[in-house]
A and B are shown apart, each in its own frame.
Chain A
Amino acid sequence: MIPLEYYLVVASALFSLGLFGLLTKKNAVNVLMSIELMFNAANINLIAFSRFVTGDTEGQVFALFVIVIAACESAVALAIVMSLYRILKGVDLPEASALKG
Chain B
Amino acid sequence: MERLDTVSSLQYFVPEIVLVFSLMAVLFCDLISKNRSQSERRLVIVIPTLIGLVVALFYAFAGAGEVSAGLFNNMVALDGFGNVLRILFIASSIFVLLFTVHSKELKSVHHGELLVLLLTVTVSLIWMANSINLMMIYLALETVSIASYVMVGYLKTDRFSNEASLKYIIFGAVSSGTMLFGMSLLFGLTGSLDLYEIRAALSNQEIVASSGPALMVIIVLILAGIGFKMATVPFHFWCPDVYTGAPTPVTAFLSVGPKVAGFAVLVRFFYGGLSEPAGGHNWAMVGSVDWQTILMVVAVLTMSLGNIAALTQTNVKRLLAYSSIAHAGYIMMGAAVLTGEGIQAMVAYMVVYLFMNLGAFLVVIIVHNEIGSFEVKDYAGIWRRAPMLTLVMGVFLFSLMGIPPFAGFLAKWYVFSAVIKAGLGWFAVVGGVNSAIGAFYYLQILKTMFVDGDETPSPAKPLILQPIYAGLLFVLVVPNIIGLLLWGYLDRVAQYSQRLLDVI
Q: Which residues of A contact B (CB under 8 A)?
A: 8, 11, 15, 18, 22, 28, 31-32, 35, 38-39, 41-43, 45-46, 48-50, 53-54, 58-59, 61-62, 65-66, 69, 72-73, 76-77, 80-81, 83-84, 87-88, 93, 96-101
Contacts and interface: CB of A to CB of B under 8 A. Distances in A.
B169 A65 contact: no
By Cβ-Cβ distance, the 9 closest A-B pairs, closest first, are A38-B177, A45-B184, A49-B188, A42-B180, A99-B241, A84-B162, A35-B173, A42-B184, A42-B181
Given A45-B184, A65-B135, A99-B164, A87 B159 contact: yes
Contacts of A87: 157, 159, 162
A65 B138 contact: yes
B174 A62 contact: no
A2 to B, nearest CB: 16
Interface string B180-210: 1101110110011100000000000000000
Given A45-B184, A73-B146, A98-B160, A18 B135 contact: no
Interface of B: 134-135, 138-139, 142, 145-146, 149-150, 153, 156-157, 159-160, 162-167, 169-170, 173-174, 177-178, 180-181, 183-185, 187-188, 191-193, 240-241, 244-245, 313-315, 318
Contact of A98 (B135, B145, B150, B163): B163
Contacts of B142: 69, 72-73
Contacts of B160: 98-99
Contact residues of A: prevailing secondary structure: helix
Contacts of B149: 76-77, 80
Contacts of B188: 8, 45, 48-49, 53
A65 to B, nearest CB: 6
A35 B244 contact: no
A58 B134 CA distance: 11
Nearest to B172: A73
B245 A99 contact: yes
A76 B151 CA distance: 11
Contacts of B174: 22, 35, 38
A62 B138 CA distance: 9
A18 B240 CA distance: 26
> Interface centre among B134, B145, B174, by most A CB within 10 Å?
B174
A33 B167 CA distance: 15
B181 A41 contact: yes
Nearest to A39: B177
Q: Which of B142, B164, B245 has the most CB of A within 10 A?
A: B142
Nearest to A99: B241
A80 B166 contact: yes
B169 to A, nearest CB: 5
A77 B135 contact: no
A11 B181 CA distance: 9
Contact of A69 (B139, B150, B164, B169): B139
A75 B97 CA distance: 26
Contacts of B166: 28, 77, 80-81, 84, 93, 96
A84 B164 CA distance: 10
B162 A59 contact: no
B192 A54 contact: yes
Nearest to B187: A49
A46 B162 contact: no
B146 A83 contact: no
B386 to A, nearest CB: 27
Contacts of A65: 135, 138-139
A96 B153 CA distance: 14
B169 A101 contact: no
A52 B127 CA distance: 30
B191 A54 contact: yes
6 contacts: A31-B170, A42-B183, A76-B150, A77-B166, A81-B166, A84-B165
Contacts of B163: 84, 96-99
A99 B134 CA distance: 35
Given A87-B162, A99-B164, A53 B191 contact: yes
Contacts of B146: 69, 72-73, 76
B99 to A, nearest CB: 22
Nearest to A91: B166
Nearest to A63: B184
Contacts of B157: 87
Contacts of A77: 149, 166, 169-170, 173
